[in-house]
Chains A and B, each alone.
Chain A
Amino acid sequence: MTTRIDDIAPTGLGRLYRGQTAVDFYGRRRIGLIVAAVAVVLTIGSLLLQGLNLGLDFEGGDAWDVPASETFGVEDAEVVLVDNGISTTSARIQRRTSELNDLITVQTPVLEREVALQVTEDFADAAGVTVDDINFSFTSSTWGSDITEAAVRALIIFLVIVSIFISIRFEWRMALAALTAMAHDVLITVGVYSLFQFEVTPATVVAFLTILGYSLYDTIVVFDRVRENEGKYASRRMPYEDIVNISMNQVMMRSINTSISSILPVISLLLIGSGILGAVTLREFALALLVGMLSGVYSSIFVAAPLLATLKSNTATRKSRRTHRLTGDALRAEVVGAGLTGRVRPGTADGSSAAEVDDPTPDDEQPAEPVAATTAAVSKGADRLLTHPPRPRKKKRR
């Protein structure tokens, strides 16, 4: 026998597993929004105070061409940098070979003049050549302003088109809420870089864009459920806050599972890739992605959804019969019952279902009062849904 709708799991985890949670997300929207606002303010503060630590590709830096030899290779150049207290993650060391010469090219962010001279001398010592054999020069950025301009222009057009797309597919309020959540996520990710003064490279820009895409994706999946429920409850004039609450509870397990699945590889990248295998380049990248993804999941539920509900509840067109929100067991009943898309099993769909549902299931030992009440409340909702799901009525009817 399959688990039945009226078995409300006794523990919170069990209810979560069975999709029977009844969290009043809308009622707690202030907490969610305040946390988001604090994070954004922190980010902006950090950006204003410290700015971003732009890397070699954006800012240019110093460059050395050191003749390579049997005894002087890329690793030896790294050693010299480390000895001078220069991080090798922000430097770029390459071997450049042609018929004419064989060089180790070292590029670092701009250094103090004394440090740069010291490094030159150390390179000369390490490579066994004189200082004059080393070509020390300034290197420009590779990321010109035209790249930024092109990227920003593309991004703006993308956001406009995505807003139009969401507006057509869903509605403009959802587009606004989704874009707000996305801006929040990207800001937070940028904030991590500013706060810890990680070096921003072209790869980091790619990480920001990855987060942008991920955030939009996650929000749309959540909103799709809201949209679906809107249709389902069209005939019942359910307040929008309730629809949002029901939808959030229904997609909660999906959001948790997806987050775990998305974040596991990133954690693996962070711990195994950069920790155990020692690829330091991956560390900052993985950290930014981790924060961005967590933020993306958080903002879909705690920023985008409450924002949507607020935007919608202000519209005069939607008058609901009730003024108070569904909470607790009444909410649970809707969450549990609304997962269906049509007729249900014939066995329970006919008249006999009511009696069957009202029976507390014997094999699930039930803790005393709260769950008993739950069962009653849920079976009411279930009763309705197990016969025929309500069809959206024509709007004309008043």
Chain B
Amino acid sequence: MRRRLWISLVGTVLIVLGALIGNLATGNTPVLGLDLQGGVSVILQPVEPATEDDLLVIRDLIRSELEARGIAEPDVRVQGDVIVVDLPGVRDQQEALDAVDVSGVVELRPVLDASACAPLDPTAVPPGGSILGDELLLDGTEIIDDPTTDSTVTDSTVTEGTGLDEPQGFANPIASPDTTVPTDDSAPDDTATTDSTIPDLSEIVGEPSVPGAELLPSRDGPPVCVGPVAGTGEVFERGSAELTSQQGWGVAVELRGDGQSVWNNLATQCFNTTPACPSTVPGLRGQIAIVLDSVVVSAPQVNQPNFTDVVAITGNFTRGEADDLASVLNRGAFPVEVEAQEARTVSASAGSESLQAAVIAGLIGLGLVLTFLVSYYRWIALVVIGGIAVWAAMVFSVASLVSGWTNYSLSLAGVTGIIVAIGVTVDSYVVFFERMKDELRNGRTLRNAGPRSFQMTWRTIWTADLVSIIGAAILFWLSVGSVRGFALFLGITTACDLLVCYFFTRPAVILLSRSKFMIGRKAFGLEVAK
């Protein structure tokens, strides 16, 4: 028992010291927020005139997109006719430009036969160009029909997503992973042919035979010939795209009231394989290409002429691909395309003197608290001093590590939050010591009072702390922005409090209450007898 207490006590101190030294040695400190340290600001300009409402919509989309990518607490606002994105904890301007590269409008375009993208002038056609185009798509079919991916055709459909239990699918012959399997030994030659012909096709210059038709690269497959833009991502409800996992990974997205007719117009054409949206693969219906920044992300086959409210897209997606498609569809709600203009370094708005003042004030406050506790509890307050030191080192190390991983930054509000947390941490000692005082006053010996009091104290502390931890977890999980940052630091300080209480305070108090050191000294305002 005694040995275990020593192991716990010394172990905790060593681990915390090790973590602290490790962090200090590698220069790993918590990232400070925009108000304390500044960051990098990126200015995004809409490529065409946009209304203020459009810009506000873009502001919200950019912010949520950044948060989804793990960039915490960005400050996004509309200033005049540009959007200013301030990123905390980013030092490098290029890094910032890459980070906010969230622009892009999603377009919906019918998939056309490759010949439609061929130039009108036959002399410009490279030998067999249009035929190669046909082959290209035929290759696609062959691969789909390949036994290794047998279920693709039946699975790959677009269905109305109102009833998720209905069989559903979304043809994705071009972008789905299995179409591009180069190791597929059933069609190695075809794949090779296709690959070699793609550059030729994409180099073709000249008017396509169908107005508005374009040959676009696809995200993970051969280029696709698509018709004129029939709709934009605005037909979908903002942010409604979600992962579905029935019959493999897929995406369900809601249609907006006014987008429904646009989408259904296109879907009907593709379902009926009209010339505007022909069947490019024998046996399949027409496909709608989802295009982001001139890259085809997915080109699902349409399985029904009319959709109400929900469109479900399924296919042979991996989870990551489905996730990607969902985020593209959500992003597609950008009303106007925006372009990053330049990145600027931003200075701290609160200034370093605020942080200094907060830290100095916090330390003085801590000093006062410790003085108070020592004058009240006397010698046993040694444990508080040690415990607070261990707690502070632990909070610092964990905060450094977490902000290194997640780019959550410590703002002035966060620093003051930690100062408030001192009070809650000290409370675990106060509850413990008051309990011990009661026991001692009632005639128990110090040696006996320690473990007994801890039992009762521990119950109180974990109940109260668990509420804080639940709160932190829920707020972190569900909220965004600075509320999320708050939740993170609340969680860290509370969890550290619980750990220190069990692994440091408990052994320290029990060992101290047993030791000869306390005999004859005052604790709790009582002199320890025997």
Given the complex of chains A and B, what is the CA–CA distance between A100 and B93 in angstroms?
A: 13
Of the candidates B78, B360, B439, B463, the one having the most CB atoms from chain A within 10 angstroms of its own CB is B463
> 1/0 per position for B37-75, CB-CB distance to A under 8 A?
010010000000000100110011001100000000001
Least distance between A93 CB and chain B CB atoms (Å): 7
Which residues of A sit under 8 angstroms from B35, Cβ to Cβ? 203, 281
Per-residue CB contact flags for chain B residues 355-397 toward chain A (1 = under 8 Å, else 0) read: 0111011101110110011001000000000000000000000
Q: Which of A140, A205, A344 contacts B442 (CB 8 A)?
A: A344
B424 cross-chain contacts in A, Cβ below 8 A: 214, 217, 262
List, in ascending order, chain B residues with CB within 8 A of A285's CB: 412-413, 416
Complex contacts, B430 vs chain A, CB 8 Å: 254, 257-258, 261
User: Would you call A154 and B413 a contact (CB within 8 A)?
Assistant: no
Q: How far is the CA of A257 from the CA of B376 in the complex (A)?
A: 9
Tell me if B426 is interfacial: C-beta within 8 Å of chain A: yes
Indicate if the CB atoms of B372 and A63 lie closer than 8 Å: no
Q: Mark A265-289, 1 if CB is under 8 A from B, else 0.
A: 1111100111001110110011001
Q: Given A135-B80, A153-B478, does the pair A341, B422 have CB atoms closer than 8 Å?
A: no
A250 contacts which chain B residues (CB < 8 A)? 438
Whole-angstrom distance between the alpha carbons of A217 and B493 in the complex? 14
Residue from the list B471, B525, B529 in contact with A162, Cβ < 8 A: B471
Does A272 lie within 8 Å of B77, measured CB to CB? no
A residues near B347, Cβ cutoff 8 Å: 74, 94-96
Contact with B along A191-213 (1 / 0, CB 8 A): 00000000000110111011011
Would A262 and B434 count as touching, CB distance under 8 A?
no
A151 at the interface (CB under 8 A from B): yes
- Taking the nearest CB of chain A, how far is it from the CB of B185, in angstroms? 50
Q: In the complex, which residues of chain B have a beta carbon less than 8 angstroms from the beta carbon of A251?
A: 434
For A292, the closest partner residue in chain B by CB is B420
In the assembled complex, A339 has its CB within 8 A of some CB on chain B: yes
Contact B478 A94 (CB under 8 A): no
Interface pair B412/A281, CB less than 8 Å apart: yes
Query: Of the 9-residue stretches A43-51, A113-121, A125-133, A141-149, which lies at the interface with chain B?
Result: A141-149
Tell whether A13 is near chain B: CB-to-CB under 8 Å.
no
State whether A206 and B486 are in contact (beta carbons under 8 Å apart), knowing that A103-B344, A264-B368, A293-B423 are contacts in the complex: yes
Within 8 A of A (CB), among B436-475: 437-445, 452, 455-456, 459-460, 463-468, 470-471, 474-475
In the complex, B431 has a CB within 8 A of chain A: yes
Determine the distance from Cα of A183 to Cα of B77 in the docked complex, in whole angstroms.
32
Interface residue tally on A, bucketed by range: 35 or more
- Contacts A139-B77, A260-B372; is A2 near B529 (CB within 8 Å)? yes
- Interface residue B324 (Cβ < 8 Å from any Cβ of A): no
Which residues of chain B have C-beta atoms less than 8 A from A254's C-beta? 427, 430-431, 434
Q: Judge if A350 is at the interface, Cβ distance under 8 Å.
A: no
Q: Quick check: A207 and B413 within 8 Å, CB to CB?
A: yes
**Stretch from A220-228, A307-315, A318-326 at the B interface:** A220-228
Asked if residues A279 and B357 are in contact (CB atoms below 8 Å), the reply is yes
Given contacts A258-B423, A258-B430, contact A282 B357 (CB under 8 A): yes
Beta-carbon contact of A340 and B442 below 8 Å: yes
Q: When the two chains form their complex, are residues B441 and A3 in contact, meaning their CB atoms are under 8 A apart?
A: yes
Cβ–Cβ contact B79 & A137, under 8 A: yes
A202 CB contact (under 8 Å) in B63, B439, B464, B482? B482
| Chain B positions within 8 Å of A293 at CB level | 420, 423
For residue A264, give the distance in angstroms from its CB to the closest CB of chain B.
5
Contact A157:B63 (CB < 8 A) given known A92-B349, A253-B434, A269-B419: no
State how many angstroms separate the Cβ of A188 from the closest Cβ of chain B.
Answer: 16
Task: State the Cβ distance, A239 to closest chain B Cβ, in Å.
Answer: 23
Contacts of A147 in B (CB 8 A): 63, 479-481, 483
Chain A residues with CB under 8 A of B414:
206
A69 CB to nearest chain B CB (Å): 15
A138 touches B486 (CB 8 A): no
Contact indicator A154/B475 (Cβ below 8 Å): yes
CB pair A5 B431 closer than 8 Å: no
Q: Provide the B186-225 mask, 1 if CB < 8 A to any CB of A, else 0.
A: 0000000000000000000000000000000000000000
A257 to B344, CA, bound (A): 49
B160 to A: closest C-beta gap in Å: 28
Q: How far is the CA of A217 from the CA of B56 in the complex (A)?
A: 39
**A150 to B84, alpha carbons, bound, how many Å?**
22
Bound Cα distance from A308 to B359, whole angstroms: 40
- Shortest distance between the CB of A392 and any CB in chain B (Å): 16
Once A5-B441, A144-B60, A344-B442 are accepted as A-B contacts, the answer to whether A98 and B344 lie under 8 Å apart by CB is yes
A154 to B463, CA, bound (A): 21
Contact (A262, B426) CB under 8 Å given A202-B481, A228-B456:
yes
In the bound assembly, the distance between CA atoms of A2 and B442 in angstroms comes to 9
Q: B92 contacts which chain A residues (CB < 8 A)?
A: none
Q: Is B346 on the interface with A (CB-CB < 8 A)? A: yes
Q: Is A97 an interface residue (CB 8 A)?
A: yes
Contacts of B358 in A (CB 8 A): 269, 273, 279, 282
B353 in contact (CB, < 8 A): yes
* A contact residues around B438 at 8 Å (CB): 19, 250, 339-340
A97 near B344: Cβ-Cβ < 8 Å: yes
B411 within 8 A of A: yes
Contact A100 B342, CB 8 Å, known A146-B64, A228-B456: yes
* Contact call B75/A142, Cβ cutoff below 8 A: yes
Chain A 1-30 interface 0/1 with B at a Cβ cutoff of 8 Å (1 = within):
111110000000000011100000000000
| Residue in B412, B423, B441, B527 whose CB lies within 8 Å of A339 | B441
Q: Quick check: B344 and A262 within 8 Å, CB to CB?
A: no
Residues B80 and A2 in contact, CB atoms below 8 Å apart: no
Q: Does B24 reach chain A (CB closer than 8 Å)? A: no
> In the complex the two chains form, what is the Cα distance from A135 to B413 in whole Å?
31
The answer to whether A265 and B431 touch (CB under 8 A), given A169-B463, A342-B452, is no
B301 nearest CB across to chain A (Å)? 34
Q: In the complex, A342 Cα to B467 Cα: how many Å?
A: 29
Whether the Cβ atoms of B361 and A273 lie closer than 8 Å is yes
Q: Does B526 make an interface contact (CB < 8 A)?
A: yes
| Chain B: minimal CB distance from A301 (Å) | 15
**When chains A and B are docked, how far (Å) is the Cα of A217 from the Cα of B469?**
11
Contact status A216-B467, CB under 8 Å: yes
> Given A95-B346, A279-B356, A339-B438, list of 16 further CB < 8 A pairs?
A19-B437, A94-B346, A98-B344, A135-B80, A140-B59, A144-B60, A146-B63, A150-B483, A151-B479, A165-B466, A206-B413, A210-B490, A217-B465, A266-B419, A272-B365, A277-B357
The 4 closest A-B CB pairs, nearest first, are A262-B423, A265-B365, A137-B80, A339-B438
22 contacts between A and B (CB under 8 A): A19-B438, A74-B347, A150-B480, A150-B483, A154-B474, A203-B35, A203-B412, A203-B416, A210-B420, A214-B424, A217-B424, A217-B464, A224-B464, A262-B422, A262-B426, A263-B423, A266-B420, A269-B365, A281-B35, A336-B442, A345-B443, A345-B445
Give chain B's interface residues, CB within 8 Å of chain A: 35, 38, 41, 52, 55-56, 59-60, 63-64, 75-81, 84, 93, 342-351, 353-354, 356-358, 360-362, 364-366, 368-369, 372-373, 376, 411-414, 416-417, 419-420, 422-424, 426-427, 430-431, 434-435, 437-445, 452, 455-456, 459-460, 463-468, 470-471, 474-475, 477-483, 485-486, 490, 525-527, 529
